[in-house]
Amino acid sequence: MMRTETLTSALGVAVASILLLACSRVVTQERAMPTPATLTKHCQEIVGAPRIERVTDDVWVARGYDLANTILIRTPAGNVVVDAGMTPARAARARADLLSYSPGPTRALIYTHSHIDHVGGASEWVEPNTEIWATAAFEEHFVKQYGLFMAAEARRGARQMGREVPDAVLPCSALGRRVDIEGAARSGVRMPNREFTGAQSLNFGGVKIELVEAHGETDDQLFVWLPDRGVLLAGDNYYHAFPNLYTIRGTRPRPVDAWIASLDAMRRRAPEHLVPSHTGPIRGRAAVLEALTDYRDAIAWVRDELVRAANAGEPLDDAVTRIGLPPHLAHKPYLQELYGQVDWSARAIYGNELGWFDGDPTRLYPLPRREAARREVALMGGDQVVLQRAVAAREAGEARWSVHLLAALRDGHRDGDAVGRAAIEDELATSLEAVAAGVHNTNGRAYLLQSARELRDGPPPPIKPELDDALLAGIPVVRFLSIMATRLLPERALDVHEAVAFRFSDTDERYTMTVRRGVAELIAGAPLPGTPAPVATVITDTLTWKRLAMKIETAAAAITAGRLKIEGSKTGFVGFIRRFDRSEPGES
């Protein structure tokens, strides 16, 4: 026992000594922030106009057609396509141009991951016998985009892409052509009919293709390796910009350690050609290995610096401001902060590992933001004084300080007069535009400029996704029921305890939705003890219910067609349904 305690004590002293050394060391770090010239050159040369680029005699990549590339591998058995673009319209043009180099059927379509910019154009490629390959995690990751936080992610995603921002001030996304958000609503996604975990070897007409699960930007990511050609298709785990370790549109934590491991797995294969799903190919084994090594080292550097800072007790805000990259990485063209940012990444890594609380006791029980803002504005001399100082700060070139002051005014006025709030928001919009003028990260610039437009003109109407039956059929019906549960209007249900049963004839699935004093509970299979007898039972097939949920079809039409039946109290069922919000996500 004594020996164990001694070892533990010694280990603690060693760790403490390491932490003290970490506190005292000085390492040069830099943030080589993009300039207007950097962004202009990137949009012209790295993104560029739509074109087909030959990688080898049998591999071509379509660049500049959409946000993501589409890659074609020619085989004697037909074409193998990797990623399909975001919209059917843009995919059709890329397909026509690629087929001019390699006419033939689509033998297989491979999704590197489930982001819509890689799968939305699939309907243009998929034929009756096309194999559609993805990792086994694809479905869960994909349907999340139409899941519980769909409205929040769609709203923030439209800002990140600059939905209404003119091309003159945002000529490209750092990853590719700017998104056609309206076009993307008309999705051509086709769900995978082949899946794997770990690795999968394919052979089409003698052409060997290896699929390797490679978590990183997503948990369903893969890369494609052509061993006989030395070609590696990297998906989104590498592109010509600092990686987006956190996306401001909002998403689950991105697995930084797994991302590094995936890059190492690519390095191990020593490819001759690296073809990412965004931006352009890299040619030559030495150049590829240098880029992949630098990329993983940049991610590891930010992670390790954040870990050292947290363990040394450095305040999170100070660490996020301080952390950059070492000089030998900071100036690499493929690590410029045009898409991801070092500070966003450091903050996300902290949150992923340690959660929202940064250890500062003053943040545990703060004044509500609105109350604090009102008091701070009063201390600074009142609304008019602060407004004047905010405008003066902007005119003096201190746009970020101006935004800080105006945000305090805005928060203090959220419950105040509309006229005063409108004037504050107009000035805030101008200051956000002033900040954006000095930001050349395309995600950050787009978000600032789109937010400024919304402050002046109000938010644009939400875009309703148009999901066809082929896509709906691939999404489990439980996803739609789960979303329904979150859309309960609690003010209509605080004194209610009732249930409705669902029976789906095509899958023999059974669910019970119970509303219990403001909470909706969804249970698969037999109801739990204490569940009241259902006021009604809904009998239908899964596709019909999905079409009803998406407002593609009306209940009256489904009943007339014999695809929807309500057993029990129809009045009770109508009353139950009216306790749920049926507006489109994003509508008020």
Q: What is the DSSP string of 298-351?
A: HHHHHHHHHHHHHHTT--HHHHHHH--B-HHHHT-GGG-TTSS-HHHHHHHHHH
- Tell which residue, 103, 278, 145, 124, has the closest CA to residue 190: 124
Residue segments in the chain with a per-residue pLDDT below the cut of 70: 1-26, 146, 415-419, 584-588
- Tell which residue, 450, 451, 460, has the closest CA to residue 185: 460
Please indicate, yes or no, if residue 17 is contained in any of the structural domains: no
Q: From CA 99, how far away is CA 568, in angstroms rounded? A: 57
Q: Are residues 264 and 300 in the same domain?
A: yes
Domains of the chain: total: 3
Please indicate, yes or no, if residue 177 is contained in any of the structural domains: yes
Q: Are residues 509 and 571 in the same domain?
A: yes
Please indicate, yes or no, if residue 583 is contained in any of the structural domains: no
Q: From CA 521, how far away is CA 535, in angstroms rounded? A: 15
For 484, the enclosing helix (H) or strand (E) is helix 477-486
Please indicate, yes or no, if residue 528 is contained in any of the structural domains: yes
Q: What value does the CA radius of gyration of the chain take, rounded to a whole number of Å? A: 27
Whether the Cβ atoms of residue 289 and residue 283 lie closer than 8 Å to each other: no
Whether the Cβ atoms of residue 68 and residue 280 lie closer than 8 Å to each other: no
Helix/strand/coil (H/E/C) assignment for every residue in 229-296: CCEEEEECCCCCCCCCCCCCCCCCCCCHHHHHHHHHHHHHCCCCEEEECCCCCEECHHHHHHHHHHHH
- Tell which residue, 464, 473, 483, 465, has the closest CA to residue 544: 473
Final residue of a structural domain among 383, 408, 438: 438
Any idea what the CATH number is for the domain that residue 221 is in? 3.60.15.30
Identify the pLDDT of residue 465: 80
Final residue of a structural domain among 354, 383, 405: 354
Whether the Cβ atoms of residue 158 and residue 181 lie closer than 8 Å to each other: yes
Whether the Cβ atoms of residue 425 and residue 441 lie closer than 8 Å to each other: no
Q: Are residues 299 and 395 in the same domain?
A: no
Q: Are residues 323 and 192 in the same domain?
A: yes
* Max Cα-Cα span within the chain: 80
Q: Are residues 148 and 243 in the same domain?
A: yes
Identify the pLDDT of residue 251: 82
Q: Is 178 helix (H, G, I), strand (E, B) or coil?
A: coil
Q: From CA 414, how far away is CA 457, in angstroms rounded? A: 17
All residues at 6 or more sequence positions from 352 whose CB lies less than 8 Å from its CB, including other chains: 253, 254, 256
Helix/strand/coil (H/E/C) assignment for every residue in 379-437: HCCCHHHHHHHHHHHHHCCCHHHHHHHHHHHHHHCCCCCHHHHHHHHHHHHHHHHHHHH
Q: What type of residue sits at position 68?
A: A
- Angle CA(54)–CA(56)–CA(58) in degrees, nearest 5? 95
Please indicate, yes or no, if residue 1 is contained in any of the structural domains: no
Any idea what the CATH number is for the domain that residue 509 is in? 3.30.1050.10
Q: Are residues 279 and 385 in the same domain?
A: no
Burial 147-170, CB ≥16 within 10 A → b, else e: bebbeebbbbbbbbbbbebeeeeb
- Tell which residue, 80, 282, 115, 33, has the closest CA to residue 194: 80
Domain of 185 in residue numbering reads as 36-354
Q: From CA 497, how far away is CA 505, in angstroms rounded? A: 27
Final residue of a structural domain among 380, 410, 438: 438
Identify the pLDDT of residue 511: 98
Q: From CA 264, how far away is CA 232, in angstroms rounded? A: 13
Partnered with residue 196 across adjacent β-strands are 135
Q: Are residues 339 and 403 in the same domain?
A: no
Q: Are residues 382 and 492 in the same domain?
A: no
Q: Are residues 103 and 53 in the same domain?
A: yes
Identify the pLDDT of residue 182: 85
Identify the pLDDT of residue 19: 46
Q: Are residues 125 and 267 in the same domain?
A: yes
For 132, the enclosing helix (H) or strand (E) is strand 131-135
Q: Is 537 helix (H, G, I), strand (E, B) or coil?
A: strand
Q: Are residues 379 and 348 in the same domain?
A: no
Q: From CA 151, how far away is CA 153, in angstroms rounded? A: 6
The beta strand positions in 15-123, using DSSP E, are 51-56, 59-63, 70-75, 78-82, 106-110
Identify the pLDDT of residue 272: 98
Q: Are residues 385 and 281 in the same domain?
A: no
Identify the pLDDT of residue 267: 98
Please indicate, yes or no, if residue 533 is contained in any of the structural domains: yes
Give backbone dihedrals phi and psi of 538, rounded to 5 degrees, phi first. Answer: -95, 125
Please indicate, yes or no, if residue 467 is contained in any of the structural domains: no
Q: What's the N-to-C CA distance of the chain in angstroms?
A: 65
| Residue whose tokens read 């739509």 | 50
Identify the pLDDT of residue 13: 42
Whether the Cβ atoms of residue 408 and residue 386 lie closer than 8 Å to each other: yes
Q: From CA 263, how far away is CA 292, in angstroms rounded? A: 6
Please indicate, yes or no, if residue 62 is contained in any of the structural domains: yes
